[in-house]
Structure 1
Amino acid sequence: MLQSCISWHLIRKSVGYPTVKRFLNLSYKVVSESSSENPDLPPVLLLHGLLGQKKLWACLGKTIATVMKHSVLTVDLRNHGVSPHHPSHKYEDLAEDVVMLMNKLKINRAVLIGHNMGGRTSMSISLMAAERIAGLIIVDISPVSNCKQLAEDMLIILKTMKSIHFDGLNTRKRARTAARIKLHTHISDSITLNAVLKNIDVRKNGTIGWICNLDALLKNFNHIVSFFPAHLQNIQYNGPVLFIGGQRSDFIPPDDLPDIRSIFPNVVVTYITGAGHNVHAHDPRAFLELVIQFLKKNKELFK
């Protein structure tokens, strides 16, 4: 449990053992401050998926903030965007990072919206520190199974990214054009391809290249795409939960619904017609309608 992990660090320190800093200081952006009319509404944190970044969620975040008057923040998870790199990338680590960010910002409770890897991170937090979570919106990911074919495809994409060198390419445009040529045969969806290419940017050493930590993502790939941590599947989160799946995606199969309901008793599961895995990008209007409906419905519970 997260709180037990934090206590264990304090115990090690008190008896003279060296402590290991497990959590990282994540990069975040405040899309909108909370409305003065609704100061008690919990902030909404948007957590991206594998190879995503906080900036990809900015437009959706602004709409949520404008309509619902919640404070909205987008977050770069570890080894992504401009957040710090670390060799470990287990869901417990990602969860602890986010809770520590909430502590830093003095956020007592938050609504989490997480896609893919961010969805499993959100679920982990709700089961490890339930009192910190006002509600969950999980976007096209299951806690109990994984889409094998897409997992295999993602491994090929990561390995292809690792094989691309940017020597002599001194602008983002040239580097992204070169990478597009190698990646387009492995990524048929233009939305996914463009999101992956946005990982090419100016790195801390001043060179152009991948800003995500490919070495850590490849090393921890089985943790990222395998089933949700088994020890968390025996815990329940009783707050309001919405699962949004894509009708054309296999990431939330109907066979998983009984197990999902056993972990999240107050869950609603819905699918957006015609959408694939990147539900929020394939049909942002339908996605936002579901998110706003969920926030409105549970407004009193959030206070």
Structure 2
Amino acid sequence: MRAVYRPIAQRGLASSIYTQRCFYSAYHGHGHGKSTFNMSYNLHNPHPHRHGSEKHEPIIFMHGLFGSKTNNRGISKMLTKELNRSIYALDLRNHGESPHISPHTYAAMAEDVEGFIKDHKLKNPTLIGHSMGAKVAMSVALRSPSLIQDIIAVDNAPVNAQLGRQFAQYLQAMNRIENTAIINMKEADEILAAYEPAVEIRQFLFTNLLKPTKDNDKFRWRIPIKILGGALDEMAAFPFTPGEKVFTKPALFVRGTTSKYVADETIPLIGEFFPRFQLKDVEAGHWVISENPEGFKNVCLEFFKREKEE
């Protein structure tokens, strides 16, 4: 396995935090032969005078479907400052600046993250994932428990549960926008508004829309809508059955109080896979971290503090 680390830019985002935007290249096998995978990530480091360590007990942050590493910039800065731990905010495959590559499965994404941990020689990392990223974190924990020390799964559970209709509708809207000769963002928003009335969600989805350039005169999506459209059933599933694997290290499950993704009836199933789990509710919907970052930060800090006291 060969890895190459290419820093793209570095700047101080706050007096106590340094952020670096990088690409990570490694050779991994995915089913048929080996392929080169270039994972994009932001590295948030504590101020060097606080003796934080990039390699020792870092945090790996993973976004949800249609998200990217930039979604977690604010909370990464907050947690880096509070915990004095480096945070790697990843672009999972087919998202952000990472490549478009099949298959888009939890097994493939878990293998990507496992390779990232090994090639960076990260020691005892914590995995934090939201929604799709939560199931990636769970998959890594069950597949390779020795690689990590704990996980925080945000508003998802280890269950096979149909995705909300809105995700298929978003892809329909994206396809319409890409295949319509729109001339500005207003026209794109009018199309998307017919599928999603909430302005904040439309703004989130538009973080994936690339404006025309001199090399390409069309609005187009950064994410591969055909690959992701074909993977919706896979994203609704969970690749393990109860009794198959168990993660015996600490796990925190965070759910939004008005979200339906972690129903009460799923709690016993969480315990079958993660017997040392804790469950915390945060006043929010499915987008827990963006809707209530302070509440999310507090339950994370409580989880890490409790671990140190054990």
Same-fold call, TM > 0.5? yes
Distance 1:233 1:48, change over 3 A: farther
- Say if 2:106 and 2:139, in contact at 8 Å, map to a contact too: yes
1:106 aligns to what? Answer: 121
Which digits, 9 at most, give the CA deviation of each residue in 1:61-106, with x for residues without a partner? 0000001100011100000001011121010000111111222222
2:235 aligns to what? Answer: 224
User: In percent, how many aligned pairs have the same letter?
Assistant: 26
Post-superposition shift, 1:230?
3.1
CA-based RMSD of the aligned residues comes to 2.6
Q: Give the whole-Å Cα distance in 2 for the aligned partners of 1:19 and 1:182.
A: 39
- Say if 1:34 and 1:70, in contact at 8 Å, map to a contact too: no
Post-superposition shift, 1:181?
1.2
Q: Give the whole-Å Cα distance in 2 for the aligned partners of 1:94 and 1:206.
A: 31
1:186-205 mapped onto 2 (5 Å cutoff): 186-201=195-210
Post-superposition shift, 1:232?
7.2
- Say if 2:58 and 2:123, in contact at 8 Å, map to a contact too: no
Does residue 28 (structure 1) correspond to residue 37 (structure 2)? The answer is no
1:278 to 279, 287, 290: 287
2:87 aligns to what? Answer: 72
1:256-271 mapped onto 2 (5 Å cutoff): 256-271=266-281
- Say if 1:120 and 1:228, in contact at 8 Å, map to a contact too: yes
Q: Give the whole-Å Cα distance in 1 for the aligned partners of 2:201 and 2:293.
A: 15
- Say if 1:31 and 1:73, in contact at 8 Å, map to a contact too: yes
2:110 aligns to what? Answer: 95
Q: Give the whole-Å Cα distance in 2 for the aligned partners of 1:286 and 1:32.
A: 23
Distance 1:248 1:22, change over 3 A: farther
1:294 to 285, 299, 303: 303
Normalising by structure 1, we get a TM-score of 0.84
SS of residue matched to 1:32: strand
1:161 aligns to what? Answer: 174
- Which structure carries more strand by proportion? 2
Post-superposition shift, 1:284?
1.1
1:243 aligns to what? Answer: 253
Q: Which runs of 5+ in 1 are unaligned?
A: 1-7, 10-17
Does residue 47 (structure 1) correspond to residue 62 (structure 2)? The answer is yes
Q: Give the whole-Å Cα distance in 2 for the aligned partners of 1:89 and 1:22.
A: 14
- Say if 2:252 and 2:278, in contact at 8 Å, map to a contact too: yes
Q: Which amino acid aligns with 2:240?
A: A
Post-superposition shift, 1:202?
5.5
2:75 to 54, 60, 64: 60
Post-superposition shift, 1:189?
3.4
SS of residue matched to 2:149: strand
- Which structure carries more helix by proportion? 1
Distance 1:62 1:180, change over 3 A: same
How many residue pairs end up in the alignment? 278
Q: Give the whole-Å Cα distance in 2 for the aligned partners of 1:257 and 1:19.
A: 37
Q: Give the whole-Å Cα distance in 2 for the aligned partners of 1:21 and 1:205.
A: 35
Post-superposition shift, 1:24?
2.3
